[in-house]
Amino acid sequence: MRVILRFLGFLFALATLVLLAGAAGATYLVWKYSQDLPDYSQLQNYEPPVMTRVHAADGALVAEYAKQRRLYIPIQSVPRLVIEAFLSAEDKNFYEHGGIDPTGIFRAALTAAQNYGKNVRAQGASTITQQVAKNFLLTNERSLDRKIKEALLALRIERAYSKDRILELYLNEIYLGMGAYGIAAAALVYFDKSVDELNVQEAAYLAALPKAPSNYNPFRERSRATDRRNWVIDRMVENGFVSQQEGEAAKKAPLEVTPRASGAQIFAAEYYAEEVRRQIYERYGERKLYEGGLSVRTPLDPKLQVLAKKTLTDGMVRYDEERGWRKPVTHIELVPGDDWGVKLGEVREWTDIPWRLAIVLDVSKDNARIGLQPSRTKSGQRSIEREIGLIPAEGAKWTRKPINQVLKPGDVVYVEPLGGAGGQWRLRQPPGVEGAMVVMEPTTGRVLALSGGFSYDESQFNRATQAMRQPGSSFKPIVYSAALDNGYTPSTIVIDAPFELEQQGQETWRPENYSKKYYGPQTLRFGLEQSRNVMTVRLANDVGMPIIAEYAKRFGIYDDMPPYLAMALGSGETTLMRMTGAYAMIANGGRKVTPSLIDRIQDRYGHTIYRHDERECRGCEATKWENQPEPSLIDRRPVVLDPMTAYQITSMMEGVVQRGTGTALKELGKPIAGKTGTTNDEKDAWFIGFTPEIVVGIYLGYDKPRPMGKGSTGGLLSAPIARDFMKVAIADRPAIPFRVPAGIKLVRIDRKSGQRTSAGDGNAILEAFKPGTAPPDGYSVAGYAGTDGSNPEPVTPVARSGTGGLY
């Protein structure tokens, strides 16, 4: 008995020594690996890269920008269903263990022993806390050292942070494939839903992804993805998170994925979205743009944007088709027996235009049989279905040639459905001419719509903001504004007669009117309405080009305009955005307007870091009504033009629409002011017009400037586009007249002579005059020596001049 007791004592002592040695060894290992553990306290202030989101004025998503598509969502906003799905898939004992799950480790070890020698990958036993430690603080190295450090960090993290905080970090950090980081972004990327809209099968599929997203791709590995999703659903049923009936129904549901586009989300807003992206990049830098989680609110009106895109496209196509057929997109050799759909599917299509690519299969004198480019499936692959159509003679009538002289088998062309005829298509061609449109709010400069060209897919060059073009006669209102601000009136007489300017070392400059005719003494109003070049040159010479250059700078058209006389005809280069902003200032009563595509920017915490509207709202901070004065807006923006001058020039530009070069808009029957512009040799065609509520700027021209053809003026090309846009945009708005500022005196005058007249005069109009500038009984002629229409006064050269503008 004593021997047994001694033996037991020996075993106990040995066990104690072994235990002490093991404890010492474990203590040493913990000490050793703790020496260079990362600082887990950084998790407290963790700011993951979060995507920047751009929204339209109505809250619709315009675009998202990110290197890692992530939306950070607090744990309180994560639906219980989503949490239960991830716990079932990754760590069902998460809320019970202290960072390491002994049960899971034992189960993994047992599985490893059973699979020993079978070349089967070992089952993981990492808890969610261990995954947080690995993802945030360690590398993906597969080694014993990393696993020990991971376990030690997990224990420390559990002591430092709550379970909910750990789970929040995990659900927002994990990569779930297709560029999505975190559950909020993944819900959008895979299902185009917010997390609170996910059903059982969708939540289970997302929970199936963390192990290996590429292995469960819903398109390439659909069967494996479905099996893994169903496994997660079974675990949810097993854990009591969903009922047996719910689980079976979810497993029977097909795996339906709706990928979310990564570019512009609103059709036709590609140029707008890219300009916003570029401005954010310039303002805050690349990291803030792609990782800062900014929330950007823009003034974009989706309905106006689609309308602007359509009317501009229609205008460019109308011009292009009037000049006939050019050539097909490309040509494919048709080989009998070959599948034309495969070859046609390889031809690049432009997705931002409402046309389809087609291949001509055979042609007769009356029609052409075509095959439509197969549509893409959700996975991006071309459909195996083949669709056949017909281009009748009516569908190619615009080419003004028999259809068999236009097309031949193998030609790849664009087509669109022919109205009312099933299976019949109209032949289309991308226009060679380009252009841009800007729609702006005149009181604030908020850009409501912007189209920078025919197709963003074809060219990302934004012609509204990046193209430097000559504005031609659309610059003339600036010249006339400077004159009206410096002692002239709308009825001041200017001679319309030949003008010469001698230039040192160059040919004498002789500007001409577009009509090649001269009309003698005429009022300023007539000169602007009819866009007389020589009158404008004489007026500019009389006012002085340095003054006009100063006004051009005030209006933001040029930063430093050379004081050459030809610049009065718009021979300098500027952008459509700048010109539209200048007209907005006139519409705004002469007060400074800064064009803006961004209303407000908030950081990831909701703090406003930029706001376009800088007006002060006094009284807006009141929390309740206590008989205080109503809130008022204090506008400290500078005045660039006398409000009375702004009204005078507006009234004169109303005349442009009623009687001048912009009569295409007269049919709208509402107060509209505007000005056409056409540069030398008809290389650019402009129209910028406005109502009290909206400003529309348009130009057409080839990217590499060249003549567009005789008669391609702003009045014939661009003004009709503005008309088509405004016909819809302001259809439901009341006909609001332009506001007459205090002090303006309206006098009935003869619009041709500028003299007072009676109401019975067929040429009578109400002209706007500043105090003390009522029409005189006689008149003097600016830039003219006499009153009999002869002997123009000598003109002193003021500077070298370049090319001039026409109307």
Residues involved in catalysis: 90, 473
Six-digit token pair at 783?
Answer: 């830039």
CA angle 105, 110, 115 (to 5 degrees): 125
Q: Which residue reads 């390439």 in tokens?
A: 220
Specify the DSSP element, H or E, that contains 768.
Answer: strand 764-769
If phi > 0 it is left, if psi is from -120 to 50 it is alpha, else beta; for residue 763 that is alpha
DSSP 40: G
Token code pair at residue 718:
């661009």
- The Cα–Cα gap between 421 and 426 comes to 10
A 10 A CB-CB count for 560 gives: 7
Neighbours of 504 (CB within 10 A): 6
Distance CA 282, CA 276 (A): 10
Crossing angle (nearest 10°) for helices 163-173 and 183-191:
40
* Burial zone of 78 (CB within 10 Å; 0-12 exposed, 13-18 middle, 19+ buried): buried
Distances (CA, A) of 143 to 26, 117, 134, 149, 150: 18, 19, 12, 10, 11
Residues 6+ apart with CB under 8 A from 550: 482
How far apart are the C-alpha atoms of 64 and 61, rounded to whole Å? 8
Residue 199 has, within 13 A of its CA and on its CB side, a CA count of 12
Beta bridge partners of 389: 370
CB distance 597 to 447 below 8 Å = yes
The burial of 331, by beta-carbon neighbours within 10 Å (0-12 exposed, 13-18 middle, 19 or more buried), is given as middle
User: Cα–Cα distance between 551 and 741 in angstroms, integer?
Assistant: 21
Structure-token pair, residue 642: 């006398």
User: In sequence order, what are the residues at sequence separation of 6 or more whose Cβ sits closer than 8 angstroms to the Cβ of residue 631?
Assistant: 617, 618, 619, 620, 622
- Measured at the CA of 426, the angle between CA 423 and CA 352, to 5 degrees, comes to 100
- What contacts 440, CB < 8 A, 6 or more positions away? 446, 447, 448, 580, 581, 584, 595, 694, 695, 696, 697
For the beta carbon of residue 723, count every other beta carbon within 10 angstroms.
Answer: 23
Whole-angstrom distance, CA of residue 301 vs CA of residue 303: 6
Which residue shows structure tokens 């090649």?
A: 516
Closest by CA to 601, choosing from 296, 218, 343, 225, is 296
Distance of CA 779 to the CA centre of its chain: 52
On the 0-12 / 13-18 / 19+ scale of CB atoms within 10 A, 514 is middle
The neighbour count for residue 456, using CB atoms within 10 Å, is: 25
Q: Which helix (H) or strand (E) holds 160?
A: helix 144-160
**Alpha-carbon span 150 to 170, nearest angstrom:** 15
Beta bridge partners of 555: none
- Residue 257, token pair as written in the block: 């994925």
Cα(698)–Cα(439) distance, integer angstroms: 9
